[in-house]
């Protein structure tokens, strides 16, 4: 059996001669490969043959190559590690960017949702407040305050059609905006075209007259519609440097215009219903119900402040003859003419009412007794100067009998003042009609009815 052994031995042990003991190399340890081959004869071991080979250089070469290989492998491993690390870093960086983008998108979405929730909340609050407003003035004050929060990037103003519908009256403005006293509907492209007009959205635009002087800032004109009828205009203009935000707010502005339009319609409908409940449908004057309520308030005010208060009762003379001779249409024309003259004669807080049939009453706060009597005579002359045409002919001259009562001389309660004025009215009729009678003072009323000198009548007319 052949044995292979590798060991480290001195060189002298290999060649069996210690010839170089003086040489340093003799003491050097060498790597030797030994081959041991036993020798046998007839099955008996008779000796062995040993072969020695110095493999020091071969081993050194092998180790050097092994080190180089390990170095190369280490470099490759290091490069692989660097590549893996770089790839991992890049993947993590990309993932981080994706997460950041996703986070930014979710943050923007959250901000949009919060902004939308805020806008919905403000619109809901605006609608709630507008529905509770009692007048258009109060409504427009609410609109001004809410719009500064709902659309902070826009200045605005609101216009509403006048009763004659020939012009729109400026009612409110906010965020530094201004409104004109009156604008004509043909001066707004939104009203002329019957839909929202957006200046700055097209390559070619035309400026509305009410937007002058114009500085090229974009603006919206929203016609305010109620029950299919245009009742006003909402005008919004971008503030400096907010053009992009202003354009994106168009939908919100449209919703605001719709809220305002519904509120205006509700207030006007409520006013119409109220007018129907307190107004006489024939003459347009206040009715008996409103007169009693106003008279109570006026008496309370006079009790607190000591201000004078007078009540005038009016009755059309021989009214039944108008109906019997010319028909009820003619009688209605007479009542409307008398009502118009009485309403024209009212000033400040004075109130003219039709309490039924051909009977009228006027409440004159802050009028002394002499002033009230003078006003009563002026009203009598103003009615006497009225000319009413019915068809192709003029109706006979209209005259009225007038009774005057004063607070507190003739009563401190509404029914007392009304009864005193009625008694003076019937006294005037008994004395020949077409005259003024003061309650509880017959001689004075006789003097008034006998006035012959011209007295300036309401409306600039005079009679002798």
Residue 62 lies in a domain: no
Which of 277, 296, 322 lies at the terminal end of a domain, its last residue? 277
For residue 290, pLDDT beyond 60: yes
Lowest average pLDDT, out of 13-17, 123-127, 195-199, goes to 13-17
400-407/436-438 β-pairing: parallel
Residues 214 and 321 in one domain: no
Structural domain harbouring 35: 3-54
Number of domains in the chain: 3
pLDDT at residue 15, rounded to an integer: 53
pLDDT at residue 197, rounded to an integer: 93
Residues 304 and 376 in one domain: yes
pLDDT at residue 348, rounded to an integer: 78
CA distances for 195 relative to 192, 222, 249, 257, 378, angstroms: 8, 7, 17, 12, 51
Percent of the chain with pLDDT over 70: 89
Q: Which H helix or E strand runs over 133? A: none
Residue 118 lies in a domain: no
DSSP 410-459: T-SSHHHHHHHHHHHHHHHHHTTSSSEEETTBHHHHHHHHT--S-EEPGG
- Selected catalytic residue, list 343, 358, 377, 392: 358
For residue 260, pLDDT beyond 60: yes
By CB atoms closer than 10 A (0-12, 13-18, 19+), residue 206 is: exposed
Residues 339 and 415 in one domain: yes
Residues 44 and 152 in one domain: no
Residues 182 and 254 in one domain: yes
Mean residue pLDDT across the chain: 84
Residues 239 and 305 in one domain: no
CATH code of the domain containing 249: 3.30.450.40
For residue 26, pLDDT beyond 60: no
Residues 306 and 272 in one domain: no
Residue 459 lies in a domain: yes
Segment 365-403, tens digit of pLDDT: 998 889 999 999 999 999 999 888 887 788 888 999 999
Residue 112 lies in a domain: no
358 classed as catalytic = yes
- Sole residue written with tokens 């118009």: 340
State the pLDDT confidence band at 199, using cuts at 50, 70 and 90.
very high
Residue 43 lies in a domain: yes
CB 458 within 8 A of CB 341: yes
C-alpha–C-alpha distance, residues 252 and 258, integer Å? 10
Which of 238, 257, 277 lies at the terminal end of a domain, its last residue? 277
DSSP 361-382: EEEEET--HHHHHHHHHHHHHH
Residue 99 lies in a domain: no
Residue 81 lies in a domain: no
| Nearest CA among 173, 154, 122 for reference residue 245 | 154
C-alpha–C-alpha distance, residues 168 and 157, integer Å? 12
For residue 182, pLDDT beyond 50: yes
Segment 426-455, tens digit of pLDDT: 999 999 999 999 998 544 444 344 333 333
Residues 338 and 434 in one domain: yes
Residues 158 and 217 in one domain: yes
Residue 240 lies in a domain: yes
What distance lies between CA 342 and its chain's CA centroid? 42
CATH code of the domain containing 315: 3.30.70.270
Residues 442 and 374 in one domain: yes
For residue 318, pLDDT beyond 50: yes
pLDDT at residue 8, rounded to an integer: 67
Residues 215 and 320 in one domain: no
C-alpha–C-alpha distance, residues 225 and 216, integer Å? 27
Residues 252 and 300 in one domain: no
Q: How many helices (H) and strands (E) does the chain have?
A: 12, 18
Q: Which H helix or E strand runs over 300? A: helix 288-305
Q: Is the peptide bond before 249 cis (omega within 30 degrees of 0)?
A: no
CB 363 within 8 A of CB 350: yes
Which of 227, 245, 277 lies at the terminal end of a domain, its last residue? 277
CB 102 within 8 A of CB 93: no
């Amino acid at each position: 059996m052949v044995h292979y052994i590798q060991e480290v031995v001195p060189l002298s042990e290999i060649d069996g001669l210690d010839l170089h003991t003086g040489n340093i190399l003799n003491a050097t340890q060498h790597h030797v490969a030994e081959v041991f081959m036993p020798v046998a004869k007839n099955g008996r071991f008779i000796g062995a043959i040993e072969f020695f080979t110095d493999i020091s250089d071969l081993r050194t070469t092998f180790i050097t190559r092994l080190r180089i290989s390990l170095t190369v492998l280490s470099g490759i491993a290091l490069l692989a590690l660097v590549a893996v690390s770089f790839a991992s870093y890049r993947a993590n960086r990309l993932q981080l960017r994706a997460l950041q983008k996703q986070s930014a998108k979710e943050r923007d979405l959250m901000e949009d949702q919060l902004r939308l929730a805020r806008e919905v909340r403000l619109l809901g609050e605006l609608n709630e407040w507008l529905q509770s407003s009692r007048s258009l003035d109060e409504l427009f004050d609410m609109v001004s305050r809410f719009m500064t929060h709902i659309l902070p990037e826009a200045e605005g103003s609101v216009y509403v059609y006048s009763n004659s519908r020939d012009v729109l009256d400026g009612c409110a403005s906010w965020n530094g905006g201004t409104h004109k006293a009156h604008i004509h509907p043909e001066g707004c492209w939104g009203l002329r075209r019957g839909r929202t007009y957006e200046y700055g959205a097209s390559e070619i635009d035309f400026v509305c007259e009410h937007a002058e002087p114009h500085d090229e800032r974009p603006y919206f004109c929203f016609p305010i519609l109620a029950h299919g009828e245009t009742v006003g205009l909402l005008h919004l203009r971008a503030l400096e440097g907010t053009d992009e935000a202003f354009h994106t707010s168009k939908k919100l502005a449209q919703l605001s215009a719709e809220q305002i339009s519904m509120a205006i319609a509700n207030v006007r409908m409520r006013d119409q219903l109220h007018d129907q409940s307190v107004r006489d449908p024939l003459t347009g004057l206040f009715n008996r119900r409103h007169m009693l309520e106003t008279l109570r308030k006026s008496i309370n005010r006079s009790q607190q402040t000591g201000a004078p208060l007078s009540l005038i009762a009016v009755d059309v003379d021989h009214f039944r003859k108008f109906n019997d001779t010319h028909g009820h249409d003619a009688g209605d024309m007479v009542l409307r003419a008398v009502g118009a003259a009485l309403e024209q004669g009212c000033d400040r807080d004075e109130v003219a009412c039709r309490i039924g049939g051909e009977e009228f009453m006027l409440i004159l706060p802050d009028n002394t007794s002499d002033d009230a009597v003078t006003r009563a005579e002026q009203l009598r002359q103003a009615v006497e100067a009225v000319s009413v045409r019915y068809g192709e002919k003029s109706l006979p001259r209209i005259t009225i009998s007038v009774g005057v009562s004063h607070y507190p001389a003739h009563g401190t309660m509404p029914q007392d003042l009304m009864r005193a004025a009625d008694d003076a009215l019937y006294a005037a009729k008994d004395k020949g009609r077409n005259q003024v009678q003061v309650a509880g003072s017959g001689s004075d009323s006789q003097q008034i009815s006998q006035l012959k000198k011209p007295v300036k009548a309401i409306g600039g007319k005079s009679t002798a």
